[in-house]
Structure formats: C-alpha cells, structure tokens
C-alpha cells in the first residue's frame, strides 16, 4: 500500500515516468501524449477527513494532465516545476466530474495504486484523450468545457467539424476577454497593458489561420503545423531528459474524405 511520496515516486518511475522535479512525474506516451502527474499543490481538506487536524488542515493533492504533443506549448511545460493537471485520480478512473469533498492525498495514493496508473496506461491515443475530456469536462446543460488544445487532436483525427467548433469558441472567448478587460481597466483608472493585447491578438491571428486551414481543407498546411509543433515539443522534452515510452510513435493526419 502506497502511503508516502517516496513510494508513489517509485510506482510512477516503474511505469516509465521521469521525475522531472520532486513532485512532478512526466512521460511522452502513445501516439503523442504528454502525461503529467503532479503532487506539488496543496488544498484544504474536509474537516471530517480522518487526516484533518488543527495542525494539518491542508494536504498535497494529485492532479493529472494529459496533453497533445502536437499542440503549441510553452517551454516551461517541459521544465521542472509544479505543472498542474486538470484531472483528479477519481476522474481518471470513473470518467465523470468529481464533486465530493477533498479527503487528503492518502486516499488518492490508493486510487492511483489500485487503478489510476493502469487507467493512464490505457490512455494512448488522441481519441482516448478527447473521450476523457468529453466525459469529465461537462458544464451545466451538458456542453463540454472549451479547450483549444483539442483542435490539434481533431486535426489528427480528421474531424474538422469539431476543430472548427473549438476554434470559433476560442476566438469568441478571446475577443470578449479583450473587450471586457479593457473596459474594466479604463473604468477603474488602470493603465492598459499593451503586451496583454499583443498576446491576445497573436492568439486571434492563430485562430484565423487555423480556421482558414479548416475551411480550405488544406491538409498539407495542417500537417505542417502539427509536424512543427511535435518537433519543437520533442526537442524541449529531450533537453529536459523526459522519458519517451517505448510504445510512442508520431502520428499523421488521415486522408480527408
């Protein structure tokens, strides 16, 4: 039974994860997935937890990230730190959003040992990653949480309809954020940050470029974007000594029908 970080670290490394920093385990896996397990962030425990006390109100928690290596990621993604993830161990296992109170990291160690690590081993493809996101990241009304990074996976899957949806959602979200933030800062007398506007505009330009690729069904253009992102991400991962699992191989787009 895993009860300490040292024991959990050993279990992760036995599955082919690199220990990128004291509480961060990572690997490149399957058809181009970057899997991360972070135990470096703390959270308040439920006062009814058996691990809660007046001197121990917070506990480290386990967060799991599953990212596409074909997405445009910043360099810090592949460097030591506390890169958080968007899934809990229970969400990986049960494939639905976790809503219960946090009991502490020790029950999460048990979940990872008894099935969580096996579940991660079975998430090997872009389709597996997308299916997990669609199952867990639900909001009121049954819609899923927007995630622009899925666009690259949809490209690889040849699903341009869903890629277009993600791009349009992100464009609207970014445009609204720029307008709302500018109005708020002007209303409250704050100086506008031109660097922030530059970053948003670069993001909008990228959305327009991706939209054009989708609308024109430019397979060569999409493949060029995916190849360049994959190459850059693999170089950054290799510089950091991140483990590349033996089952990994680069994926390419299928012919569009």
Asked whether the whole model's pTM tops 0.85, one would answer yes
The confidence score (pLDDT) of residue 17 equals: 97
State the pLDDT confidence band at 105, using cuts at 50, 70 and 90. very high
The confidence score (pLDDT) of residue 61 equals: 95
Residue 256 pLDDT > 80 = no
- 113 closest CA partner among 18, 24, 37: 37
Percent of the chain with pLDDT over 70: 96
Distance CA 214, CA 155 (A): 9
Q: Which of 26-30, 97-101, 146-150, 212-216 has the lowest mean pLDDT?
A: 146-150
- The CA distances from residue 83 to 87, 95, 229, in Å, are 12, 22, 19
Q: What would the DSSP string read from start to end of 147-167?
A: -TTHHHHHHHHT-HHHHHHHH
Whether residues 123 and 157 share a domain: the answer is no
Q: Residue 228 domain-assigned?
A: no
Whether residues 112 and 70 share a domain: the answer is yes
Domain that holds residue 208: 150-217
State the pLDDT confidence band at 140, using cuts at 50, 70 and 90. very low
Percent of the chain with pLDDT over 90: 57
How many distinct structural domains can be found in the chain?
2
Q: Residue 229 domain-assigned?
A: no
Whether residues 159 and 88 share a domain: the answer is no
Q: Summarize pLDDT for 174-204 with one digit per residue, the tens.
A: 888 888 888 888 888 888 788 888 888 887 8
Whether residues 71 and 174 share a domain: the answer is no
Q: Residue 55 domain-assigned?
A: yes
The confidence score (pLDDT) of residue 134 equals: 84
Q: Residue 167 domain-assigned?
A: yes
Average pLDDT of the chain, as a whole number: 89
Residue 187 or 144, more confident:
187
């Amino acid at each position: 039974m895993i009860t300490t970080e040292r024991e959990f670290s050993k279990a992760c490394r036995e599955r082919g994860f690199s220990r990128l920093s004291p509480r961060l385990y990572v690997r490149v896996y399957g058809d181009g997935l970057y899997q991360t397990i972070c135990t470096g962030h703390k959270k308040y425990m439920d006062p009814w937890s058996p691990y809660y006390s007046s001197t121990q109100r917070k506990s480290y928690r386990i967060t799991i990230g599953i990212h596409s290596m074909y997405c445009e990621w910043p360099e810090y993604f592949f460097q030591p730190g506390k890169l958080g993830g968007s899934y809990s161990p229970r969400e990986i296992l049960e494939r639905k959003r976790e809503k219960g109170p946090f009991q502490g990291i020790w029950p999460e160690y048990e979940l990872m040992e008894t099935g969580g690590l096996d579940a991660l081993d079975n998430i090997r493809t872009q389709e597996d990653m997308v299916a997990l996101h669609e199952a867990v990241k639900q909001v009121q009304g049954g819609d899923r949480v927007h995630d622009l990074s899925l666009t690259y996976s949809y490209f690889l899957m040849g699903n341009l309809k869903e890629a277009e949806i993600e791009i349009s959602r992100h464009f609207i979200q970014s445009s609204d954020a720029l307008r709302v933030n500018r109005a708020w800062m002007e209303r409250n007398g704050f100086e506008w940050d031109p660097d922030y506007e530059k970053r948003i505009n670069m993001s909008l330009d990228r959305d327009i470029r991706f939209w054009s690729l989708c609308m024109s069904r430019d397979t060569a253009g999409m493949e060029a974007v995916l190849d360049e992102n994959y190459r850059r991400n693999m170089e950054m991962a290799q510089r950091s000594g991140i483990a590349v699992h033996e089952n990994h191989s680069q994926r390419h787009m299928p012919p569009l029908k």
